[in-house]
Amino acid sequence: MHPTAVPTVEVSSVPPEAVLLDVREDDEWAAGHISGAIHVPMMRVPQQLQHDPGPLTPDATIVVVCKVGSRSAQVTAWLCRQGYIAANLAGGMYGWEAAGRPIESSDDRPPRII
């Protein structure tokens, strides 16, 4: 699947039941992330799904997010090829923030996107 052909969802259209999968690196996640999202860095997604998928099941609606949408598009395409229901979050974390949606941090600083 070509990255431009991956399913994409606008922030305003994220289904309420969707599992948000943040595929950014640990420092990016700590700086700012979507409340309730699941954090699995991009390169660890296959291993996570094999050993401890949690809510990341083939019947779940998964919305994949990164900083701007490139890494999440790659993960979305891979998930779709594996039979998962997945969509890339348009605009990534920047799109989420631009839509006025809140983010939180895991460190002692105010939430931010890095």
Domain ranges (residues) in the chain:
3-98
Across 28-41, average pLDDT: 98
Q: How far is CA 81 from CA 27, 41, 48, in A?
A: 28, 19, 16
3-98: what fold? Oxidized Rhodanese; domain 1 (3.40.250)
d(CA 109, CA 40): 22
For the cut 80, the answer to whether the pLDDT of residue 97 exceeds it is yes
Query: Chain-wide mean pLDDT for the chain?
Result: 95
Q: Is the pTM of this model over 0.85?
A: yes
Which segment of 1-10, 66-75, 99-108 scores lowest on mean pLDDT?
1-10
Q: What is the pLDDT of residues 43-91, one digit of tens each?
A: 999 999 999 999 999 999 999 999 999 999 999 999 999 999 999 999 9
